[in-house]
Amino acid sequence: MMGPNLPRVFIIQGKRTPFGKFGGALGSLKPVELAVIAAQALLKETGVDPETLNQVIFANVIPCTPDTLYAGRHLALKCGLNVRTPGLVVNRLCGSGIEAIIQSARLIRNYEADALLVAGAETLSMAPHLTYGARFGTKYGPLKSQDMLLDTLYDQHAQIAMGLTAENLSQTYNITKQDSDLFSYESHRKANLAYAGNLIQDEIVAVDKCSKDEHLRGDVSLEDMQKLKPTFLKEGTVTAGSASGIVDGACSMIIASEEYVRTHNLKPLAEIIAGEVVGVDPNRMGLGPVPAITELLAKQKLKKQDIDLFEINEAFAPQVLACQKALEIDPSELNIWGGAIALGHPLGATGLKITLTLARQLKYLNKKKGISSACIGGGQGISLLIESV
């Protein structure tokens, strides 16, 4: 993704909504509505003229409303971009947000765009139930109904629930329920500390009276985590507390070329260096970040020690712990402001959110290089290397 003759690509800035708990404050807002709130706040904060943006990429996994199918185009129109500006919707499941960033950088490096509005959103509270047979009827018996939310968390090809893929990793890497409970508690503790230090608030635009991530528990204790029973296996490691939170939310970014940055006198947040996507065994899908990060580093002729911070999406606690063990990441360099176990995982928005958070962490701590990464249902991993500027 990077070469001596290719344009440099920058994240100008990002903004997100709070992540609302399942059925909570944001549950009645459509994905496009959430994305518009985040994007309009971003445009106002940066002073970027929407007429100068020439592409829109929108990440979404479950199109819960008809207009979500039009999301890229509708976001462009609702945010005042030129009527000629095209919009695209991308879906790489939990990697969709990072995929949107990678595709935006590719467009700029191919001289197909100068600056893009990139967003991701999910309203999991609105995930629909599908009814089969309603159009033409059934010869015998009832209509068939399926829950799109539940089925999104189950790989139909491999015939395995996402939580069981995490249990597979806990067995391979000798991760106990105690390890998982502690990691989950730490996710909440780090997020609460980050909020107390006013480190997270600047990336959030309030939605009505909701100004803080609703899934985050301020009163959680390790003992609370330890009391929760395993969800998938009787003697398993994954509980309701050690899985990512089901939430609603959106995140947006402006991504632009070096020439655009210079022409418009902007101060970017970070530079996008390169990304990587790989496939892995669907039964061990949570390990996807390991080869995605390893291959990314190899292609960039870097070592793990060259990376200051990592943000690996917390799909499940044992899944992140397995990646941490395999990559030998120092815990002090991983998800330092908490992760999706504490804050939630709005599928299409997550990759953008963790990359935005990572860029802000690098800036705040005066660090240089960071990698954001996610495992992906069906057996994939995605990673993105950024540098603070």
Quote the CA–CA distance of 266 and 256 in Å, as a whole number. Answer: 10
What residues does 334 pair with on adjacent strands? 310
Looking at the DSSP bridge assignments, the partners of residue 144 are 132
Task: Answer yes or no: 375 catalytic.
Answer: yes
Q: Could you tell me if residue 295 is inside a domain?
A: yes
Write down the pLDDT at residue 139. 85
Asked, for residue 210, whether it belongs to a domain, the answer is no
The answer to whether the CB of 165 falls within 8 A of the CB of 175 is: no
pTM for the whole thing? 0.97
Instruction: Name the region of 111 (left: φ>0; alpha: ψ -120 to 50; beta: rest).
Output: left
114 within domain boundaries: no
Which DSSP string corresponds to 198-222? T-SGGGB--BTTB-S-TT--TT--H
Q: Six-digit token pair at 225?
A: 């985590």
- Residue pair 283/388 in contact by the 8 Å Cβ criterion: no
Q: How many domains does the chain have?
A: 1
Contact 55, 21 (CB under 8 A): no
Structural domain range at position 339:
272-388
User: Is 210 among the residues known to form the active site?
Assistant: no
Predicted confidence band at 301 (pLDDT cuts at 50, 70, 90)?
very high
Quote the tokens at residue 383: 């990673």
pLDDT tens-digit map of 312-342: 999 999 999 999 999 999 999 999 999 999 9
Q: Provide, rounded to the nearest whole percent, the portion of the chain with pLDDT above 70.
A: 99
Task: Report how far residue 259's alpha carbon sits from residue 254's, in angstroms, rounded to the nearest whole number.
Answer: 14
| Phi–psi pair at 294, nearest 5 degrees | -60, -45
Instruction: Please list the helix, strand and coil fractions of the chain in percent, rounded to the nearest 5, in that order.
Output: 40, 25, 35
Output the domain CATH number for residue 328.
Answer: 3.40.47.10
Cβ neighbour number for residue 167 with a 10 Å cutoff: 24
Minimal CA–CA distance to 154: which of 232, 217, 84, 83?
232
Q: Report yes or no on 2 lying in a domain.
A: no
Residue 267 has pLDDT above 70, yes or no: yes
Tell me the pairing of strands 380-388 and 369-376: antiparallel
Helix/strand number for the chain, H first, E second: 12, 14
pLDDT for 99 beyond 80? yes
Q: Domain for residue 300, yes or no?
A: yes
Contact present, 106 and 88 (Cβ < 8 Å): no
| Residue pLDDT, tens place only, 5-58 | 789 999 999 999 999 999 999 999 999 999 999 999 999 999 999 999 999 999
* In-domain check, residue 235: no
CA quadruple 260, 106, 121, 64: dihedral positive or negative? positive
3-class secondary structure per residue, 137-148: CCCCCCCEEEEH
Confidence band of 4 (pLDDT split at 50, 70, 90) = low
| Catalytic option among 94, 210, 251, 323 | 94
**Alpha carbons 388 and 370: distance in angstroms, whole number:** 8
State pLDDT tens for residues 171-211: 999 999 999 999 999 999 999 999 999 999 999 999 999 99
Q: Which of 154, 194, 198, 210 is nearest to 27 (CA)?
A: 210
Mean pLDDT of the chain: 97
d(CA 143, CA 17): 38
Q: Using one digit for the tens of pLDDT, what is the confidence trace for 347-374?
A: 999 999 999 999 999 999 999 999 999 9
